[in-house]
């Protein structure tokens, strides 16, 4: 199947800092692909280059088999971006914002009117129709932001952290809206720092580091790349002693917040782990399947072995 988006050897420098280092990535038609990685690894730069806000130093980008570079307005018409910084006009009403961005894309008035009505309806913006965009809560601004990105019916939608800083209910709503877009055939490339969000929304996940994609696959495929059969999560009053004991058993220690995580080389029951760690300093133990978080930490090399 032809990729919706094919990126080959993309490089970008800011000053003497190499931010994208020959990045390659394929997004299949109709999938939601998540681009994940630490702050500053270049995720937004990729999205901004794909929607032609930034120019790459090198590399090729194809949208449905057609080169994107040099297409100018036509490329912009095929791609929609929901940028990391919410870009809407605070003094305009939601529908006025939609009209404004529709005009930017050169949509005729009749088409604009129909789409504004449709988006106000499908995004549940009706009750907020009389509120200026700048007065909407963060979650509603984010919904409007997404609606704006859809005004010109892009074939490819780029979402840069679409649910950062919104509450739980708004996040669930945005997830449903993104599901709906995918079901309607839109291809989506999104970034997120929330692994649960990526797991919930994405067909596949690309892990990015140092300007390259270092791993790509479904959650199951990424998890399968972790050299461990299970993860033991341990609380200890003496972490150094517990880590030393675990390492002597051949377990790999992973960095994690508040707890010790160990990758176990073979399947083990809770009892096996408790018996193996045996000591008064160990206050809580659980044994779980390897998760996307473990894969993220391990495959991005963030799983520094604890001292």
Ligand X SMILES: Nc1ncnc2c1ncn2[C@@H]1O[C@H](COP(=O)(O)OP(=O)(O)OP(=O)(O)O)[C@@H](O)[C@H]1O
Q: Which residues bind ligand X (CB under 6 A)?
A: 14, 19, 37, 39-45, 84
Indicate the residue whose CB is closest to Mg ion.
44
Output the CA angle 156-160-162, nearest 5 degrees. 100
**Partner in contact with 14, chosen from Mg ion, ligand X, none, beta carbon below 5 to 8 Å by kind:** ligand X
Question: In this complex, which beta carbon is closest to Mg ion, that of residue 11 or of residue 84?
Answer: 84
Question: In this complex, which beta carbon is closest to ligand X, that of residue 142 or of residue 242?
Answer: 142
Shortest distance, position 160 Cβ to ligand X, whole Å: 7
Tell me how far apart the alpha carbons of residues 38 and 170 are, in angstroms, rounded to a whole number: 24
**Partner in contact with 39, chosen from ligand X, Mg ion, none, beta carbon below 5 to 8 Å by kind:** ligand X
**265 and 229 Cβ atoms separated by less than 8 Å:** yes
Tell me how far apart the alpha carbons of residues 251 and 68 are, in angstroms, rounded to a whole number: 47
**Partner in contact with 228, chosen from ligand X, Mg ion, none, beta carbon below 5 to 8 Å by kind:** none
**CB proximity list for 121: less than 8 A, separation 6 or greater:** none
Shortest distance, position 161 Cβ to ligand X, whole Å: 7
Helices (H) and strands (E) in the chain, counts: 11, 14
Q: Which residues of 144-166 are buried (b: 16+ CB within 10 A; e: fewer)?
A: bbbbbbbbbebbbbbbbbbbbeb
**Partner in contact with 7, chosen from ligand X, Mg ion, none, beta carbon below 5 to 8 Å by kind:** none
Shortest distance, position 255 Cβ to Mg ion, whole Å: 22
Q: What is the DSSP letter of 209?
A: E
Question: In this complex, which beta carbon is closest to ligand X, that of residue 18 or of residue 92?
Answer: 18
**Partner in contact with 45, chosen from Mg ion, ligand X, none, beta carbon below 5 to 8 Å by kind:** ligand X
Question: In this complex, which beta carbon is closest to ligand X, that of residue 44 or of residue 97?
Answer: 44
241's tokens: 């002693």
Shortest distance, position 178 Cβ to Mg ion, whole Å: 18
Residues engaged in binding Mg ion (CB under 5 A): 43-44, 84
**Partner in contact with 163, chosen from ligand X, Mg ion, none, beta carbon below 5 to 8 Å by kind:** none
Backbone angles phi, psi at 31, to 5 degrees: -105, 160
Question: In this complex, which beta carbon is closest to Mg ion, that of residue 44 or of residue 142?
Answer: 44
Shortest distance, position 156 Cβ to ligand X, whole Å: 18
Tell me how far apart the alpha carbons of residues 63 and 51 are, in angstroms, rounded to a whole number: 11
Per DSSP, helices labelled H in 202-291 are: 219-224, 239-248, 270-277
Question: In this complex, which beta carbon is closest to ligand X, that of residue 35 or of residue 243?
Answer: 35
């Amino acid at each position: 199947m032809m990729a919706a988006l094919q990126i080959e050897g993309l490089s970008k420098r800011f000053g003497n800092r190499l931010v994208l280092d020959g990045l390659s990535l394929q997004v299949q038609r109709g999938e939601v692909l998540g681009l994940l990685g630490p702050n500053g690894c270049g995720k937004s730069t990729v999205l901004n280059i794909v929607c032609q806000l930034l120019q790459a130093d090198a590399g090729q980008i194809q949208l449905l088999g057609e080169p994107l570079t040099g297409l100018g307005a036509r490329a912009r018409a095929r791609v929609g971006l929901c940028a990391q910084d919410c870009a809407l006009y605070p003094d305009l009403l939601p529908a006025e914002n939609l009209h404004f961005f529709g005009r930017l894309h050169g949509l005729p008035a009749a088409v604009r009117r129909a789409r504004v009505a449709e988006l106000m309806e499908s995004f549940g913006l009706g009750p907020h129709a009389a509120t200026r965009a700048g007065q909407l809560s963060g979650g509603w601004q984010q919904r409007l932001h997404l609606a704006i990105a859809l005004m010109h019916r892009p074939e490819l939608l780029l979402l840069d952290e679409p649910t950062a800083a919104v509450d739980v209910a708004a996040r669930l709503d945005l997830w449903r809206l993104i599901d709906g877009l995918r079901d309607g055939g839109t291809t989506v490339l999104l970034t997120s720092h929330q692994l649960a969000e990526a797991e919930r929304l994405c067909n596949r996940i690309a892990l990015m580091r140092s300007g390259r994609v270092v791993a790509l696959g479904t959650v199951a495929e990424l998890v399968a790349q972790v050299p461990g059969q299970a993860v033991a999560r341990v609380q200890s009053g003496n972490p150094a002693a517990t880590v030393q004991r675990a390492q002597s058993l051949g377990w790999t220690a992973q960095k994690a917040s508040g707890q010790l995580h160990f990758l176990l080389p073979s399947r083990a029951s809770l009892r096996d782990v408790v018996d193996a760690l045996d000591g008064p300093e160990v206050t809580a133990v659980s044994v779980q399947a390897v998760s996307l978080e473990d894969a993220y930490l391990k495959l991005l090399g963030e799983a520094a072995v604890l001292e």
